[in-house]
């Protein structure tokens, strides 16, 4: 392995065996959860929207909806999608249109960049110790002045602690690249309730050394091939339930 990402660090922390199935064994996924398809389609639409605004254009809401639907249909053609019992494809499309409409009508600060990739070495900010591996990722949106924005879709309202690892990773990368801390972190949480709404969470706090130590322990665990199942509420919708049941400690 030549890099870690915040999603890899989160996944290993949540269930190291699922990390092994996904990133080491590269097992094919028998299905794709509807929530992942929905979130990805929303992200694709927002990325297009902000790219248009960055170029000085004024995209219409109708076109924003069309980009969302095109990405949705593209994913559903490529993958078998597993829906929750109360969901339908048409219902989720309408929900996506409603959520994007809410965001479209919100006031927006100046866009500095969208889907910004980064690759930086993982280094202890105090001792200078390096892991010999990079941190990689993408920042959803950068607003003026120096505000990192992350978009999340969820069934219930999120807490800022739910994305602490991700925000710490972005803050670490931003400081490494620009020699200054971000001014603010915003999580734009699209809540998929019957009456969809947007919750904006903000924070200024990130602990880079704690993040480095977490990344270090995850990296050490992966190199030592320490993988085991961890039962949680996420097991119910896990794509790797079958190989997990057959796991015998090997």
> Which pLDDT score, from 0 to 100, does residue 71 have?
97
What is the reported pLDDT for 212? Answer: 97
If you compute the radius of gyration of the chain from its CA atoms, what whole number of angstroms results? 19
**pLDDT of the residue at 223:** 96
Q: What is the pLDDT of residue 192?
A: 96
pLDDT on residue 10: 96
Instruction: Please provide the DSSP assignment of 152-171 as one string.
Output: EEESS---GGGGHHHHHHHH
Residue 159: predicted pLDDT:
94
Q: What are 24's two structure tokens?
A: 């080491």
pLDDT at res. 182? 94
Measured distance CA(46)–CA(141) in Å, rounded: 9
> Is beta strand 197-203 parallel, antiparallel or unpaired with respect to 184-191?
antiparallel
pTM: 0.93
Mean pLDDT by 10 residues, the chain (250 residues): 94 97 96 96 97 94 98 94 94 97 88 95 95 96 93 95 93 94 95 95 91 97 96 91 90
pLDDT at 100: 98
Shortest CA distance to 174 belongs to which of 151, 200, 201, 143? 143
- The pLDDT assigned to 80 comes to 94
């Amino acid at each position: 392995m030549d890099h870690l990402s915040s999603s890899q660090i989160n996944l290993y922390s949540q269930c190291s065996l699922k990390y092994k199935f996904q990133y080491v064994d590269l097992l094919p996924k028998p299905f794709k959860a509807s929530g992942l398809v929905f979130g990805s389609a929303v992200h694709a639409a927002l990325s297009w929207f902000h790219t248009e605004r960055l170029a000085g254009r004024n995209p219409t809401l109708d076109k924003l909806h069309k980009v969302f639907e095109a990405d949705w249909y593209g994913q559903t053609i490529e993958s078998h999608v597993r829906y929750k019992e109360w969901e339908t494809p048409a219902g989720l499309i309408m929900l996506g249109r409603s959520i994007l409409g809410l965001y479209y009508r919100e006031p927006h600060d100046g866009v500095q960049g969208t889907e910004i990739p980064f690759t930086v070495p993982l280094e202890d900010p105090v001792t200078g110790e390096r892991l010999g591996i990079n941190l990689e990722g993408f920042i959803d949106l950068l607003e003026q002045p120096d505000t990192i924005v992350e978009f999340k879709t969820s069934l219930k309202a999120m807490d800022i602690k739910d994305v602490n690892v991700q925000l710490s990773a972005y803050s670490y990368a931003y400081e490494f690249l620009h020699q200054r801390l971000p001014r603010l972190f915003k999580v734009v949480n699209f809540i998929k309730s019957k009456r969809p709404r947007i919750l904006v969470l903000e924070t200024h706090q990130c602990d880079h050394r704690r993040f480095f130590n977490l990344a270090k322990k995850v990296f050490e665990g992966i190199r030592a091939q320490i993988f085991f199942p961890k039962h949680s509420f996420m097991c119910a919708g896990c794509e790797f339930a079958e190989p997990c049941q057959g796991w015998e400690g090997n």
